[in-house]
Structure 1
């Protein structure tokens, strides 16, 4: 399982999530405390928003703790909205285009979880992609394909609904193939304006997700596990939840896969 952190609010330096806290994302890359695997050394990535609609991105296959550039970049880059991820591979080899976050246009996406029997249904899932999105796929992970399926299902107009439809499609094809339709999915994604997250698992055992206020005037941080020992500051997001962070603060709602129907 992977670890990730995301932020939306007034601009902060990336180091305030990535490297400075006592239990920063870099610390979690070799000493995670709330994951099945303590080490997340199969690469890392960051995506951040600035003056352009599309996000900047930096990824590498080195473990986050050993990359000589990551701490320097995190100390210099200041952004109102960013995603950061350290990877423990469950699907796809250790290569740069399998490292999160994935991006397409203004969208960025990162995921912690797995799709059981992914190899049995990958081809059927890819068949749902338009030519544009099929050719945008550069890696081999279930995470990237879930992102592209969500885009195909109407993420631009209905982000949470699109993810719901994409997960329903995965479970539908898994059941048809006689595979275990197990999906564990804790993900964050953004269009550069709002920050979204989903925590869901078909077996009721989703990867962890926590939220806490951060920065001045209504900023929020979403993380796989708390960045410090101030337990009162962090709220665990319940399983089967969707999260939306906007200028109005953090809102949660119930989440479940919708019956598959391609968005208009």
Structure 2
């Protein structure tokens, strides 16, 4: 049996020759190399890995900060080869540190977290060098916190920022943030004044010349505050007045 692999299909135990130790196994179902109900002896035993787990040392993940991930592998003999993948793309081996202690192996990976990592799948794969079929892996989906990204634009019905008194003006505020932004507006909903505010839109009904100026929207979450780009509107009237500046 020296130098041969025996795969026990029913018990999902793998055995390979690794001198000088020996292990006795009872075959309970036909194996790849042997017949049924035979006593199998391997000179030395290669087994596992039995489990693979990714652990995050500090939570939550925040854009702009480093994060340390530890992959813990148990029950591999000989010690496993440990590889990291980011969205199925293997990371350089030198980007992690591997330690072996008894039947536990650990690999520590440090990543510089950015917004684009949100939703990324991080994989730790453990391979027994003698038993490729015994490969196990764990997958961790990154949940990255980042401050809002905000943009403001005129509503689809407006072809030009040039308006006449009595027209309606519409603005749409787009926000990308994790976690979602707090709800808070500095320009309140006021039907009587013709100011209609929803979660992401602002409507100014029957505008007048005093409402000319630059408009911005603001969003906040636990990671910070952000202002959008300014959008200017000009209300045509007989007399010009200084522009105002509103934040919604």
| TM-score (normalised: structure 1) | 0.23
TM-score normalized with structure 2 length: 0.24
Larger Rg: 2
Greater helix share, 1 or 2? 1
Which has the higher relative contact order, 1 or 2, with Cα contacts under 8 A spaced 6 or more apart?
1
The structure richer in strand per residue is 2
